[in-house]
Amino acid sequence: MRKAVTQPTLDTVIVRFGGELWIKKPWTRRTYERRLIDNMKHTLKRHEIPFREIIRKHGRLYLKTNQPIEASSKLARVFGIASVSPAQQTTPKLNDIIRTSLSLADQTLQPGNSFAIKCRRVGTQPYTSADICREVGRQILEKFGKKRNLTVNLKHPDVTLGVEIREEDAFIYASVIGGAGGMPLGTQPRLVGLLSGGLDSAVACWLTMKRGAPTVPVYFDNTPFTDEATTKRAIEVAKVLFDWATGFSRRMYIVPHGQNLAEFLEKCPHRFTCLLCKRIMYRVAEKIAEMTKAEGIVTGEAIGEQASQTIPNLRVLNQAAQKYPIHRPLLGFDKAETERIARKIGTYEPSSLKAKGCTAAPKKPATMAKLHEIMVAEEKLNIQQMVEASVQQLQTLNL
Amino acid sequence: MRKAVTQPTLDTVIVRFGGELWIKKPWTRRTYERRLIDNMKHTLKRHEIPFREIIRKHGRLYLKTNQPIEASSKLARVFGIASVSPAQQTTPKLNDIIRTSLSLADQTLQPGNSFAIKCRRVGTQPYTSADICREVGRQILEKFGKKRNLTVNLKHPDVTLGVEIREEDAFIYASVIGGAGGMPLGTQPRLVGLLSGGLDSAVACWLTMKRGAPTVPVYFDNTPFTDEATTKRAIEVAKVLFDWATGFSRRMYIVPHGQNLAEFLEKCPHRFTCLLCKRIMYRVAEKIAEMTKAEGIVTGEAIGEQASQTIPNLRVLNQAAQKYPIHRPLLGFDKAETERIARKIGTYEPSSLKAKGCTAAPKKPATMAKLHEIMVAEEKLNIQQMVEASVQQLQTLNL
């Protein structure tokens, strides 16, 4: 009996878009699709996965490759993709669908498994989707049911066999791998991301990347108020972020910032140090945004997470950025939620590398600073000169 | 055999804080705890759930009540609570713990269930946590194991019986109900939230509330470019949000905005209408923030979700708000993620009520507006007068 079933040759990856793409106007959608295809090609090339073509059809992309499993796992990390399925292509003839489904079921269904058949159809065929589900299900039970102790479970099956019929083609698949979601990288202009290397800033940058904006990481090096391990941590985190942006620049900026901190400590009330520090970071980031033609600044701030991140303090901070918006994607996140994303995207591990906290941070930081107090403190500094000196000493890393 | 087991009388709710509270300084933590206790009391009072006291001990709150099930379900919706468990209090004597555990197991374990015992201990007892797990587990199996076909499953049990020992007290519970998380409402200053009544703005306001900031909803009424149903929808959504803020103001502001839209349509390029509309909304919101002593403005914008929400357009929008930060907690969210939260918090249904889209919106909105173009368009308007007229016509609803 089992001899009749031929070995399946998975030859395709079905690529599904996020739902949001469908509410875009046709012109925007085509631009987004083209960008997505480009990003997919870069990713496959980087991982040396050969493919024959990417076909755009019926609101899906179909990647033709003889390594669909490997390709699927890499494409699942391309922004703009909702999900992928390694699949086998066949014709929409009932016999071909059944034969291919049986062959995939043979490979996939383990003893004791429950299964379901799902069918989606575009075009005119001499059968309904329900016909396919019934017939494929029946034949699987007939061929493997007893031998493998299989059961049908439509609600929570162990394996769902998918049949996707698209006019002249049909695709059979047994798994749906969740993708990164979001929008294709490059469909929004560049942003500058303040990356400390800690959990929050990494997730914040990833979130703006997810929504399509290439985000250039900028690290402020607090040496001698921190150690080299902290810089190394930031670099490792940046590398993980760049792996989500294949085809885009892997440039990171490092700003020497210790001298600025020393000046705050010398000349200003210590409880303002963190606010003064962040305000100058925003100003330097604005200069880098200008240089890199970016359109905004991303930070990992969440309301109330740290003393510098109370709502009154965020207001004081904002006032320092005059030309560019400060984007804070983690604003409403709990720490546990940020951690969950960090684990998913791979920054949790490098962000947890040993790093010395900033020794310039005060024991009792101001939680409700008044803008005028900060302005008075800043009058004792030559802010403009400090910003310019920081920008002049900017280091560039290509990772 | 079963006669020996007395009926349990659940008499307590164990209230667990979010992990973030623990990294706060003691003074901040106490303030937050006091605020949380206040918010809990208001919530219980509103739902007419009687209670005797709330005890703060060993990093938990213990609510003493004879309605612990009802109280748990209401407290799970109070910000700052990570989880709750209806529980029965007993002494830390081994016999009392076993007797109470057996009694709760008797009530909870269904035929065929798998179970596990979890024990946490503070203080010095003549037994270890492992002793408790072993002994309670053994006696449960002995008493009910055969009769109910019970099995032990430490990894994925159907029921986990929790034993929490705190020096002179012990608490036994059989369920952990996830809470809202976040920080106690009122630990951050007020914000003004632009609430359209659609999915996004409601979730955005909820997220800033979750982080502790009472968020005052402001609705812009686009009549005659929309219908009354749209206003009603916003009011229904605001009511759901207020239900998350028991003990706080239920005031909502409605701004007549149709006249403003009419002016844009008459005097400015139509492709800028949405940007001009939002910029004036920000300005009016700034006035309301001043009036209500709020410290910022919340919007439901997500990068690239609509034409007005591209990164260049967000930059153009930001420039209109000179005094207050624009907080956009959904910045990095996909629509599907926003929807998931909306369903969880109860705004999905009212946000899905029938509402007419704004008929002033152009067919081809600008996606990459230049600030100077918008400024030129605004020169044809008397912006200040429009803002003042809007504020003067402000309506207040107490819901």
Shortest alpha-carbon distance between residue A35 and chain B (Å):
15
3-state secondary structure of B244: coil
Check pLDDT > 60 for residue B1. no
* Phi, psi (degrees; rounded to nearest 5) at B205: -65, -40
Write the burial class of residue B27 (CB in 10 Å: 0-12 exposed, 13-18 middle, 19+ buried): exposed
Q: A12-178: what fold?
A: VC0802-like (3.30.2130)
pLDDT tens digit sequence for A375-388: 999 999 999 999 99
The percentage of chain B sitting over the pLDDT mark of 70, rounded to a whole number, equals: 98
pLDDT on residue A4 = 47
* Phi, psi (degrees; rounded to nearest 5) at B82: -80, -40
pLDDT tens digit sequence for A212-221: 999 999 999 9
Tell me which of A216, A279, A299, A327 to substitute to probe the interface with B (most B C-beta atoms closer than 10 Å): A327
Which is more confident, A356 or B7? A356
The closest CB to that of B311, out of A207, A210, A296, belongs to A296
Answer whether B74's CB lies under 8 Å from B49's CB.
yes
pLDDT tens digit sequence for A31-52: 999 999 999 999 999 999 999 9
Check pLDDT > 90 for residue B165. yes
Shortest alpha-carbon distance between residue A245 and chain B (Å):
16
pLDDT tens digit sequence for B244-280: 999 999 999 999 999 999 999 999 999 999 999 999 9
Record the tokens describing residue A287, joined without a space: 């200069």
Check pLDDT > 70 for residue B242. yes
pLDDT on residue B3 = 45
Shortest alpha-carbon distance between residue B306 and chain A (Å):
8
pLDDT on residue A7 = 53
Residue in B with minimal Cα distance to A371 = B323
The 10 Å CB-count burial string (b at 16+, else e) for A378-389 is beebebeebbee
Which residues, in sequence order, are CB contacts of A16 under 8 Å at separation 6+?
A: A60, A81, A82, A83, A84, A85, A179
The closest CB to that of A311, out of B18, B188, B315, belongs to B188
- The pLDDT of A72-95, averaged and rounded, is 96
pLDDT on residue A2 = 44
Check pLDDT > 60 for residue B136. yes
B367 contacts in chain A (CB < 8 Å): 28
pLDDT tens digit sequence for A299-357: 999 999 988 899 999 999 999 998 999 999 999 999 999 999 999 999 999 999 988 88
| Cis status, amide bond into B365, omega within 30 of 0 | no
| Cis status, amide bond into A224, omega within 30 of 0 | yes
CB within 8 Å: B331 and A302: no
- The pLDDT of B20-25, averaged and rounded, is 78
Distance separating alpha carbons of residues B285 and B297, to the nearest angstrom: 7
Answer whether A213's CB lies under 8 Å from A309's CB.
no
Secondary structure (H, E, C), A147-191: HHCCEECCCCCCEEEEEEEECCEEEEECCCEECCCCCCCCCCCCE
Q: Where are the domains of chain B?
A: 12-178, 191-398
pLDDT tens digit sequence for B111-132: 999 999 999 999 899 999 999 9
Distance separating alpha carbons of residues B272 and B265, to the nearest angstrom: 9
A204 contacts in chain B (CB < 8 Å): 332
Which residues, in sequence order, are CB contacts of A202 under 8 Å at separation 6+?
A: A195, A237, A240, A241, A300, A342, A345, A347, A350, A351
Indicate the pLDDT class of residue A108, thresholds 50, 70 and 90. very high
Q: CA angle B114-B119-B125, nearest 5°?
A: 145
DSSP class of residue B238 equals H
Instruction: Confirm whether the ipTM is greater than 0.90.
Output: yes
Residue in A with minimal Cα distance to B79 = A334
CB within 8 Å: B303 and A212: yes
The percentage of chain B sitting over the pLDDT mark of 90, rounded to a whole number, equals: 88
Using the Cβ of B302 and the Cβ atoms of chain A, whether some distance falls under 8 Å is answered with yes
pLDDT on residue A357 = 85
pLDDT on residue A8 = 60
The closest CB to that of B325, out of A210, A213, A318, belongs to A318
Comparing A199-208, A245-254, A359-368, B42-51, which segment has the lowest mean pLDDT?
A359-368
For the entire predicted model, the pTM comes to 0.94
pLDDT on residue B8 = 60
How many residues are recorded in chain B? 399
CB within 8 Å: A304 and B183: yes
Check pLDDT > 50 for residue A69. yes
Distance separating alpha carbons of residues A58 and A16, to the nearest angstrom: 11
pLDDT tens digit sequence for A257-275: 999 999 999 999 999 999 9
Distance separating alpha carbons of residues B86 and B353, to the nearest angstrom: 36
Check pLDDT > 50 for residue A1. no
Indicate the pLDDT class of residue B24, thresholds 50, 70 and 90. confident
pLDDT on residue B4 = 47
- Give the A window 178-237 contacts with B, CB below 8 Å: 181-183, 187-189, 191, 204, 207-208, 210-213
Indicate the pLDDT class of residue A167, thresholds 50, 70 and 90. confident
Using the Cβ of B339 and the Cβ atoms of chain A, whether some distance falls under 8 Å is answered with no
The closest CB to that of A189, out of B295, B312, B326, belongs to B312
Mean pLDDT of chain A: 94
A324 contacts in chain B (CB < 8 Å): 315
Indicate the pLDDT class of residue A3, thresholds 50, 70 and 90. very low
Check pLDDT > 70 for residue A233. yes
The percentage of chain A sitting over the pLDDT mark of 70, rounded to a whole number, equals: 98
Check pLDDT > 90 for residue B28. no
Distance separating alpha carbons of residues B203 and B41, to the nearest angstrom: 25
DSSP run (H or E) holding B273: helix B273-292
CB within 8 Å: B324 and A334: no
Which residues, in sequence order, are CB contacts of A117 under 8 Å at separation 6+?
A: A101, A132, A133, A136, A137, A140, A160, A161, A162, A163
3-state secondary structure of A146: helix
AA letter at A212: G
Q: A191-398: what fold?
A: Rossmann fold (3.40.50)
Which residues, in sequence order, are CB contacts of A389 under 8 Å at separation 6+?
A: A259
Shortest alpha-carbon distance between residue B140 and chain A (Å):
31
- The pLDDT of B38-67, averaged and rounded, is 95
